[in-house]
A and B are shown apart, each in its own frame.
Chain A
Amino acid sequence: MKTALVLFISSALFTGIIGTAYWFVAHEPAGTMLLGFMTAALLVVAAYMIFAERDADLYADRKDATMPDAAGEHVGTYVTHSPAPFWIGVALTGVMLGFVVSPAAAGVGILALLFLGALMIVRSR
């Protein structure tokens, strides 16, 4: 995680420096704001890593780790199929097309999304 943290902090530092230099050179608000937002977004991720993941101990980060080191009782349960993504895609398309051709289609799409969301919450319990 250390490398990932360095990556986000150095990226934020870089965009912060570029943004500051850009403001003083160009006095142009749109680009400065965009670079500022980007710096802030990178800092949010870096802050999450510092405060929420600081105790994370990944086997992947140990140079001499082996597979049995990381293997517990079982590796995990994986879902290989789910109908939800396809129907979410269909519903979202309905919503987006609804904004162009018919508000009714957007309404149906939004209802479908709400239904799918509720269904996924119920099934996850």
Chain B
Amino acid sequence: MSAIAEPRVTAPERHDILSWITTTDHKRIGVLYMATTLMFMAVAGLLAVAIRTQLARPGSELISPHGYNQIFTLHGTAMIFLVIAPFALGLANYLVPLQVGAPDMAFPRLNATSYWMFLFGGLTVFAGAASNEGAASAGWTSYAPLSEITISTGLGQDFWIVGLAMVSVASIMTAVNFVTTTFIHRAPGMTMWRIPIFTWEMVATSLLIFMAFPSLTATLLLLFVDRRLGGHVFDPSFGGSPILYQHLFWFFGHPEVYVLILPYFGVVSEVISTFSGRPLFGYTGMVLAAFAIAGLSMGVWAHHMFTTGAVNNPFFAFVSFLIAVPTGIKFFNWICTMWGGSIRYTAAMLYAVGFLMNFLLGGVTGVMVASPPLDFQAQDSYFVVAHFHYTIGGGSMFALFAAIYYWWPKIYGWRLDERLGKINFWLTFVGFNVTFLPMFFMGVFGMPRRIYTYSGEGALPLLNLVATAGAYLMLLAAVVFVANIVISARRRDPAGDNPWHGYTLEWATSSPPPEHNFHRLPPIRSARPLFNIEHPEADQS
């Protein structure tokens, strides 16, 4: 071990509430991000339960049509903009400097500003529920002209627009921070081809945010101009173009899907490698596949617009199919990493394996709807709802929980209970599949999405009832997760610095890490510096 001079800090570490509000420490900001997103997830999850309760039987009057529109709009908006993506940003806030051996993010104040803009932006979106006609109700895509002032007359839609604009700008600022930190603030010897796979995935994600989120900000601005300043950019009655809205929105929207999944590819790679007791198979291939996915995802936006008749379907179908190639490489590499390894089925590993199974189904059905003839049949049906939830719910959300179970001991210094964690996993896994598998069949039977009731004939009532039962099972899983945190917090079972026997740099420091991360850094001679310390005789190339 080589010694490094301890960084000077301007003040001793504080733990009062004011210190959390004024913090610029990347670890605390990471924790704030993750805690905030879990709060938003709780609200969005309860909204999902409300949706499923309404749909449990045909003709239900539990929720009014307008109330239902608000609920699914807030659910989708929160899960996509305020939960899955920002949780990854929070996790990366905590981990990226640790993994590259940096004392903090490149721009700590900008980092803190990003968090507060995200929080206030998210609260603004929800604050719309208190306005004259309630929250936004035009769906998470808020297509024009549905979201124009002539149809969505309430202030809720405006709260939605300005809130998401703040979240969008905050995400761009965070992406700048990640890229700069990774490129400039790596520890000596941590060459780009030695940085951990999670950090690589965050670099790819950050590039996507750079390229895609400005389009979202511009779209929101133009929509606001239409609504409040008398513009007609998307208003067809004055020569505007709703198709332009879809182009601008999906130019952000499809890369956003990969912003939601790429960080979690990184999580799963780290978890599978550690709990298989093997280095990640095909490290270079995994990195190149991440950038191939990121690049290709910028050229597929209009596969969401096949049925408009206003886009070149063969071009977008071809590029969409191509994405399956790098994604397949990742799948093969994960399986090869596990192959022949001494696998430990911890709660984190179970969630990672659950991710593989769910995401495979989401990915395969994604290839199906990338084909225009099939998409014409599935468009706006529950088939698409099922596909999307299998990728983002069954994929990203499962990896999110894998990340929580895996890095919790590093963040807090004590473990979550493994037995409760496994119960939590099985309830979530069964609940998830019971909820969303029937939705493929609902779509095939012609049930359109975003409707508050449906026909009582055929198989739809039974399929909906089963899906609702699954949703309540997931609610139970969430209760177990909260109970696990409460029980484990009382027990505070010490974790030690490296409870899982990980080999990346974050496991080289104490749990939790000191304010500036490392008192000492080990020599970095490969992508697994801790392995080199344990096995100095091994080939370090």
Check if A and B associate: yes
Contact with B along A38-77 (1 / 0, CB 8 A): 1001100000000000000011111111111111001111
B189 lies within 8 A of chain A by Cβ: yes
Cβ–Cβ contact A58 & B184, under 8 A: yes
Q: What residues of A have a CB within 8 angstroms of the CB of B210 in the complex?
A: 41
B193 lies within 8 A of chain A by Cβ: yes
Cβ–Cβ contact B189 & A65, under 8 A: yes
Of A30, A71, A75, A88, the contact of B103 (CB 8 Å cutoff): A75
Total residues of chain A contacting the partner, CB 8 A: 57
Tell me the nearest residue of chain A to B158, going by C-beta: A100
Q: Tell me which of A15, A66, A83 has the highest count of chain B C-beta atoms within 10 A of its own C-beta.
A: A66
Of B2, B14, B24, B251, the contact of A67 (CB 8 Å cutoff): B2
B10 lies within 8 A of chain A by Cβ: yes
| CB contact under 8 A between A77 and B3, given known A92-B117, A93-B166, A100-B155 | no
B521 lies within 8 A of chain A by Cβ: yes
Of B117, B193, B311, the contact of A89 (CB 8 Å cutoff): B117
Cβ–Cβ contact B188 & A3, under 8 A: no
Interface residues of A in 12-43 (CB under 8 A from B): 14-15, 18, 21-22, 25-26, 28, 30-31, 34-35, 38, 41-42
Cβ–Cβ contact B311 & A78, under 8 A: no
B425 lies within 8 A of chain A by Cβ: no
Q: What residues of B have a CB within 8 angstroms of the CB of A66 in the complex?
A: 2, 188-189, 523
Q: What residues of A have a CB within 8 angstroms of the CB of B10 in the complex?
A: 77-81
A7 lies within 8 A of chain B by Cβ: yes
B139 lies within 8 A of chain A by Cβ: no
Q: What residues of B have a CB within 8 angstroms of the CB of A81 in the complex?
A: 10-11, 14, 19, 22-24
Interface residues of B in 1-45 (CB under 8 A from A): 2-11, 13-14, 19, 21-25
| C-alpha spacing A96/B8, complex, angstroms | 38
State which of B291-299, B345-353, B497-505 sits at the interface with chain A: B291-299
Q: What is the interface of chain B mostly: helix, strand, loop, or mixed? A: helix
Q: What residues of A have a CB within 8 angstroms of the CB of B103 in the complex?
A: 75-76, 78
Of A35, A82, A97, A101, the contact of B112 (CB 8 Å cutoff): A82
Smallest Cβ distance from A15 to chain B, in angstroms? Answer: 6
Contact with A along B133-165 (1 / 0, CB 8 A): 000000000000000000000010011001101
B450 lies within 8 A of chain A by Cβ: no
| CB contact under 8 A between A69 and B7, given known A96-B165, A101-B155 | no
| CB contact under 8 A between A38 and B165, given known A11-B207, A78-B108 | no
A115 lies within 8 A of chain B by Cβ: no
Cβ–Cβ contact A69 & B188, under 8 A: yes
Cβ–Cβ contact A26 & B189, under 8 A: no
Cβ–Cβ contact A93 & B124, under 8 A: yes
Cβ–Cβ contact A80 & B247, under 8 A: no
Q: What residues of B have a CB within 8 angstroms of the CB of A67 in the complex?
A: 2-4, 187-188, 520-521, 523
Smallest Cβ distance from B450 to chain A, in angstroms? Answer: 25
Q: What residues of B have a CB within 8 angstroms of the CB of A69 in the complex?
A: 188
B119 lies within 8 A of chain A by Cβ: yes
Contact with A along B184-202 (1 / 0, CB 8 A): 1111111111000000000
| C-alpha spacing A15/B207, complex, angstroms | 12
B454 lies within 8 A of chain A by Cβ: no
Of A68, A80, A83, the contact of B2 (CB 8 Å cutoff): A68
Cβ–Cβ contact B24 & A77, under 8 A: no
Smallest Cβ distance from B144 to chain A, in angstroms? Answer: 14
Cβ–Cβ contact A26 & B247, under 8 A: no
A84 lies within 8 A of chain B by Cβ: yes
| C-alpha spacing A3/B162, complex, angstroms | 37
Cβ–Cβ contact A26 & B120, under 8 A: no
Q: What residues of B have a CB within 8 angstroms of the CB of A78 in the complex?
A: 7-10, 103-104, 108, 516
A111 lies within 8 A of chain B by Cβ: no
Smallest Cβ distance from A103 to chain B, in angstroms? Answer: 11
Cβ–Cβ contact B14 & A68, under 8 A: no
Tell me the nearest residue of chain B to A1, going by C-beta: B183
Cβ–Cβ contact A89 & B113, under 8 A: yes
A4 lies within 8 A of chain B by Cβ: yes
Tell me the nearest residue of chain B to A94, going by C-beta: B120
| CB contact under 8 A between A86 and B22, given known A26-B315, A71-B4, A96-B166 | yes
B511 lies within 8 A of chain A by Cβ: no
Smallest Cβ distance from B290 to chain A, in angstroms? Answer: 11
Q: Tell me which of B21, B188, B295 has the highest count of chain A C-beta atoms within 10 A of its own C-beta.
A: B188
Q: What residues of B have a CB within 8 angstroms of the CB of A71 in the complex?
A: 4-5
Q: Tell me which of B22, B25, B111 has the highest count of chain A C-beta atoms within 10 A of its own C-beta.
A: B22
3 tightest Cβ-Cβ pairs between the two chains A and B? A89-B116, A85-B112, A60-B186
- Listed by A's residue number, 27 A-B pairs whose Cβ atoms lie within 8 Å are A7-B291, A15-B295, A22-B312, A28-B247, A35-B299, A59-B189, A60-B190, A63-B189, A63-B191, A66-B188, A66-B523, A76-B8, A80-B9, A80-B23, A80-B24, A80-B108, A82-B24, A83-B21, A84-B109, A85-B109, A85-B116, A92-B117, A92-B120, A93-B166, A96-B163, A97-B162, A100-B162
Question: 18 other contacts beyond A63-B189, A74-B8, A86-B21, with CB at 8 A cut-off?
Answer: A21-B315, A22-B312, A26-B315, A31-B251, A35-B298, A59-B188, A64-B189, A67-B188, A67-B520, A71-B5, A76-B103, A78-B104, A80-B24, A81-B22, A83-B21, A83-B22, A85-B24, A85-B112
